Structure 1
Amino acid sequence: MKRSTTAVFAGVVLAGLAACGTPDESAVAPEPTGVADEVEALGSQEVVDEMDRLYQAAQDAGEDRVTIYGAGENDRGPVYEVFMARYPGIQVSGEHLTGPDFDSKISNEFASGQHVGDLVQGGDTSVAGHIEEGKYVPYTPLTAEGLDPRWTEPTNTVHAAAALPFGIGYNTNAVDSGDAPQTWDELKDETWRGRIVMDDPTVSGSSLSAFRALLADERFGQEYLNAMASQEPHNENGSQNTGAAVASGEFDIAGYYPYSFFIRESAKGAPMGFVFPTEGGSYVSGHYLGLIDGAPNPNAAKLLMNWLFTPEGQQALAAVGYYPTMPDSDGPADFPPMRDLDLIRSTPLETVASETQQALETIQEVWPK
C-alpha cells in the first residue's frame, strides 16, 4: 500500500510523458497536486524519500503497528491520528506509563523475551537508566537534524521531539486572571501562603523535577526552595490529584503544574486557568524517544520517530499542548515559540540520576510534611 500523494505524483508524471512524447527541457513542469503539500508537511524531498523507504520496508516486513510506552501517551491520540492518515496500514497504540510502572513493563518484556513495545517516549529519569542498561538501540532520525543538544545525550540514543510545559494553575472562581501569579518568584508572595497545592516533591514526580531544575539555576537555588517551603504548601499524590484539588476549590493554586493535566481538567469543565511563566525563566520537561532493542516493528517505529520531528509532526504535538523541540516550530496554544523562551536549565540525561537524588535529599531536609 502506497500513500495517495506518491501515487498521484507517479500518475501525473506518467500521463505527462505519454501526452508529450519526450519532455521539453526548457519547460518548468507544474508541481503535481499533493506533492508540494507533502514536501512542505515533511520538510524536504530528501525526507519524503527516506520516509517512503521506511514505509515500504515496514510493509515488506509485515509491520502494521507501533506500540509506544511512556508519559503523556493518554494525550497523544490525536497526534497519531495524523500520522496514521498519512501512512495508512500502520496502527499506533500508546500506553501511558511512568515511574516504576514504566520500568517494570520494559524490564519484564526483556526478561521474558516477548517484546510488545517498539518505542518509548518518556521523561528524563525514566529513560536514563535504560540507556545505561542498553535497552534502546542508538538511532538518530534524519528529521532531527538541527535539534538543540539539550534534547538528546552524548550517545544519541534518545531524542526528544516534544517537551511538556510546566506552569501555575489556579481556580478561576477564587483568583482573577490578572491576580494569578505570573512567575515562579510570585509564588513566594505571602498572598498565597497556605493556598498552594502541588505534587509531593519529597517523593517523585513533576514538582521534584521542577525543583531539581530550579535548584540548579542560580536565579533560584536553595533560597527559593526555602521560601517555597515556608509557604505551607499542601502535598498531593500526583499531578492529577493536584488539579482535582484546585478544580474543586479546596486549594486556589496548583504549583509546578503540567500543562497537559490542565488541558484534561479544562475539558471536563473545571473552573481553572493556567499561567505559563515566560519572565524569569520558563520550565519545560523533555519526553525522549527511544527505539527498544528487540522491537517487533523497527521500520514502522523509525517511520514514526522521523515523522514526529517533521513540520507536520511538530504541529500535531503543539496542538495537544506539548512544546515542539525543533528550532523553527511554534509553541502550543498562544505560548511563545521555544526559541524565544528563557529556558531554565534542563538536567543532562547522563547526570539526571545523581542530580535527582541530590535534589530529593535537599528538598526532604526543608519541606513540610
Structure 2
Amino acid sequence: MKKDQFKWASAGLALSSLLVVSACGNDSSNNASAEEATTWLEQANLEANESPEELYELAKEEGKVVVYSQSSRIKDVKASFEKEYPGIQVDAFDLGTIEIVEKVAREQEAGLNTADVVFVKDGGGVVSGELLSEGMLHKYAPDDLVASLDDSFLDEPGLPFYFSTRAIFVNNEVYDDSTITNWWDLTDEEWKSKIVMDDPLLSSDTLDLFTTIVQNADDMEEAYKQKFGEEIELDGTDNAGYEFIKQLLANDPVFVSSGDDVVEAVGTPGQEKPPVGITTSSKSRHIEEQGYMAEFLYDVEPKMSVAGTSYLYMANNAEHTAAAKLLIRWMAGEADGQGEGFRPYNVPGSWSTRTDVSVDGQRSSDELTLWPYDGEFLYDNSNDVRNFILGNQ
C-alpha cells in the first residue's frame, strides 16, 4: 500500500508501537495491479441488485466463501448459512480487529486474495482511513438492504448492520441506576481501585471511547460543572476530556484483557461492595445465563457513550464474489431483517442499524444518548490519547 504506516501496532505489541507497511514493486507493477483491480470491480458488479436465488446459483459454482470476523459468533452464522445454502462451505476466521487490519493489508500487499468477506468495526478510523482508501475493501450494499437503514447510517464506508457501545456496568443486586449518573462520578474516592475495564491499550473500542471523550471536551466540562457546581480547573492537561482521563487513571482502575472478566467482577452475586465496570454493552447477552447480577447504565451525563458500529465489506479481488454477496445478505438479515444470519447479533446490548428491527426489553437506538462516531478524528488523534494514557498510568 502507498501509506507509510498504520496507526495501530502489530498484534504482539498491541497499541504500543507502529506497524510500518512499505509499498512494494515498481510503477509498472503498481499500474498492473490497478488495472487488475478495475477489471475485478467491473466483474464483481457491486452495484447490482441480484436476488438471493440468483446469487445462490452462481455461488454453488464457487463452492465456498472465506470470512474474517471480529466476532466469535461467526460460527453460528456458518452453521445457519451452510444449512440454508448446501454446497457452499464457509471458512470462518475469528480474529481481533487489529489482526484483521494487519492480515488483510499483508495479504493484499502480497497479492493473496484469501478473504472474501470482512466483518469488522472501523477501529479508530483505520479501516476507513487506510484499508478502504487503498482499495483493499469495498462496500456492497444492495438496495433492499439499505431501504430500512436508519438515516444516520446511510452514508457509511461499509454496510452497517448493528452496533454496540462501551457502557458503564453496575451490580444490580447492590446498586441501582442512580449509583453512577455522570462519567465524573468514576473519579470519586469511593471508586478508587474499584473500577474494572477493558485495557484501552489493548481494546480499540475502549480507546475510541476515550478519544471521543477528548473530542467532546466541552460536554465533559459542562458535566463537571453539573456534578461539582464549579468550573473545572485543568491540572496540566489540554482540555476537560484529557483531565477526565487523568483523574480516572489516578483512581487506580483495574485493566483486564476481556469484557467477560469485567462482567464477572461486577456481577458476581453476594458481594458487599462490588466494583463498577466499563466494557461492551453486548456482554449483557450472557449475564442471565451465567447467573451474574449486572446491567449497563443508559442515563449517564453528558452522554451514555459512543456507538461502535460493525460493518460488512467485500475484500478486493475476492475469489468467491457471488458467495460473498450471499453471505453479506445473510448476515445482514436479508431484506426484511428477520433472516437467521442476523439472529446471533440481534441480542441484548446490541442494536440493529435498521428501523424495523429491535430487541425486546431494551431502549431503542433512537432513545440512546450517544456521541457521534468520527472516524477521521479518531484516526488523527488516537495515538495522542494512547500516549497520554501511557504517560499517566
Instruction: Calculate the TM-score normalised by the size of structure 1.
Output: 0.71
* Aligned residue among 322, 330, 346 for 1:318: 346
Q: Which residue of 1 aligns with 2:368?
A: 341
Q: CA deviation at 1:68?
A: 1.8
Residues 1:228 and 2:248 aligned together: yes
Q: Is the 8 A contact 2:196 2:253 kept in 1?
A: yes
Q: Which residue of 1 aligns with 2:54?
A: 53
Amino acid at match of 2:295: F
Residues 1:209 and 2:229 aligned together: no
Who wins on radius of gyration, i.e. which is larger?
1
* Aligned residue among 317, 321, 331 for 1:294: 317
Amino acid at match of 1:135: M
Structure 1 unaligned spans of 5+: 1-46
Residues 1:358 and 2:370 aligned together: no
Give distance in 2, aligned partners of 1:152 and 1:347.
Answer: 15
Q: CA deviation at 1:186?
A: 4.1
**What does the per-residue CA deviation read over 1:246-277, in whole Å, with 9 as the maximum and x for residues that have no partner?**
4677993353311334445664x353412142
Give distance in 1, aligned partners of 2:378 and 2:179.
Answer: 32
**What does the per-residue CA deviation read over 1:22-66, in whole Å, with 9 as the maximum and x for residues that have no partner?**
xxxxxxxxxxxxxxxxxxxxxxxxx9972222222223xx23333
Q: Which residue of 2 aligns with 1:329?
A: 357
Q: Which residue of 2 aligns with 1:147?
A: 149
* Aligned residue among 99, 102, 114 for 1:101: 99
Q: Is the 8 A contact 1:205 1:238 kept in 2?
A: no
* Aligned residue among 272, 282, 297 for 1:260: 282
Q: Is the 8 A contact 1:127 1:288 kept in 2?
A: no
What's the % identity of the aligned pairs? 23
Please list, as runs of the form range in 1=range in 2, the aligned pairs for 1:178-217 lying within 5 A after superposition: 180-181=179-180, 184-202=183-201, 204-217=203-216
Amino acid at match of 2:53: D
Q: 1:338 to 1:171 in 2, by over 3 A?
A: closer
Give distance in 1, aligned partners of 2:186 and 2:77.
Answer: 33
Q: Is the 8 A contact 2:314 2:324 kept in 1?
A: yes
Q: Which residue of 1 aligns with 2:292?
A: 271
Q: Is the 8 A contact 2:148 2:356 kept in 1?
A: no
Give distance in 2, aligned partners of 1:104 and 1:119.
Answer: 15
CA RMSD, Structure 1 to Structure 2 (Å): 3.4
Q: CA deviation at 1:286?
A: 0.8
User: SS of the counterpart of 1:219?
Assistant: helix
Amino acid at match of 1:97: L
Structure 2 unaligned spans of 5+: 1-47, 221-240
Instruction: Calculate the TM-score normalised by the size of structure 2.
Output: 0.67
Q: 1:162 to 1:188 in 2, by over 3 A?
A: same
Q: CA deviation at 1:195?
A: 0.5
Amino acid at match of 2:169: G
Q: Which residue of 1 aligns with 2:15?
A: none
Give distance in 2, aligned partners of 1:105 and 1:304.
Answer: 20
